[in-house]
């Protein structure tokens, strides 16, 4: 069985602070995909990143960075110099290799205080 745990239910930080959202996953598969999605107040889910299990290189995209550590089954997401527009619910998700089904975590609601 696959499971994704996002232990932080809600986080509030002041604008311009850095913030890290934690994601821990469980899977018996040796190859899999990990994802982060953003759900802004408008409600849709917006794809942010996909990582393959065989690629542990960390990734940076502008103010966003992702730290994938297979040894601890974690895929954490850091926002640097946070902005009010970053306020949203962020979901981590897991999929088996070659499988269409995403297993989502319960999400972390991030509030950036101006």
Partner 1 sequence: EPEVTQTPSHQVTQMGQEVILRCVPISNHLYFYWYRQILGQKVEFLVSFYNNEISEKSEIFDDQFSVERPDGSNFTLKIRSTKLEDSAMYFCASRTSGANTGELFFGEGSRLTVL
Round to whole Å and give the CA distance between 102 and 114: 34
User: Which two three-digit tokens encode residue 112?
Assistant: 């950036």
Round to whole Å and give the CA distance between 98 and 33: 9
By CB under 8 A, name the one of 35, 66, 68, 77 that touches partner 1.
Answer: 35
Pick 18 or 26: Cβ nearer partner 1: 26
Pick 22 or 80: Cβ nearer partner 1: 22
User: Is 50 one of the binding residues for partner 1 (CB under 8 A)?
Assistant: yes
The angle formed by the CA atoms of residues 75, 44 and 57, to the nearest 5 degrees, is 20
Pick 52 or 58: Cβ nearer partner 1: 52
- The residue range among 10-18, 64-72, 77-85, 101-109 that interacts with partner 1, by the rule CB under 8 A, is 101-109
The angle formed by the CA atoms of residues 52, 39 and 60, to the nearest 5 degrees, is 40
Residue ranges binding partner 1 (CB under 8 A): 33, 35, 37, 42-47, 50, 91, 93, 95, 97-107
């Amino acid at each position: 069985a696959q499971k994704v745990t996002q232990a932080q239910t809600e986080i509030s930080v002041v604008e311009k602070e850095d913030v890290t959202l934690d994601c821990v996953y469980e899977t018996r598969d040796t190859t899999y995909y990990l994802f982060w999605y953003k759900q802004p107040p408008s409600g849709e889910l917006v794809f942010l990143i996909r990582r393959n299990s065989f690629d542990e290189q960390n990734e940076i995209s502008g103010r966003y960075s992702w730290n994938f550590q297979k040894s601890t089954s974690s895929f954490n997401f850091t926002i640097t110099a946070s902005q009010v527009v970053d306020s949203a619910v962020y979901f981590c998700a897991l999929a088996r290799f070659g499988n269409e089904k995403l297993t989502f975590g319960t999400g972390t609601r991030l509030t950036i205080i101006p």
